[in-house]
Structure 1
Amino acid sequence: QRKKAEEEKMIAEKAKEIAEKFAKQAEEARKEAQETAKKEAEARKEAQETAKKEAEAREKAEKTKSEVEKKMLTLEEENKRMLFELQELRNLAKKEIEL
């Protein structure tokens, strides 16, 4: 009877060791899952920030392009006006030479 009790005690201790081992493994797995979730959240946040920066860069590029186009049109108009004035001056110079 005592031998049987000792065997049962050993079995119970072994079962306790196995249960503790499984509990430890489960805790480690939980921590790993938590760490993975944290890293995934950080990666999503970085991706969102990158997308935001890309959108801002595109918007800035479009704005710059628009400003450059406006300046080009202004310069073209100014160039046409100056050419017209130059032609007027030539015409005046011709008339003075003819006189």
Structure 2
Amino acid sequence: MCDSFEAAALNGSDSDCYRPNYKLEYGIEEDSMHFCVNGITRFIQSEGFKWFDKWSGPTELLNTKDSIIARFANEYSRYINGEIDMELVNQSYKILRIK
């Protein structure tokens, strides 16, 4: 809600570098889809939860060089300190079609 980026964007774990370890492709066959679902589940359990743990607190977000919010860390810092830029919040609401 404090990001000035004018589009919906996710800051999240990326599976690209993990693809050799997890089979995330599927075809039209039901078994293929089940195999992919199992791969996604394993990826989330093995990699995704660690990613969320790493980035779940403001200290890591604000003080780590490779932070997922590095491009808007100043805005985030003001936001968590109660200095809310309602223009950015309203922009986020509009982009996400909230309200």
TM superposition score category, shorter chain reference: under 0.3
TM-score (norm 2): 0.24
Bigger helix fraction: 1
Q: Look at both structures and tell me which one has the larger radius of gyration over its CA atoms.
A: 1
TM-score (norm 1): 0.24
Greater RCO, CA 8 A, separation 6+: 2
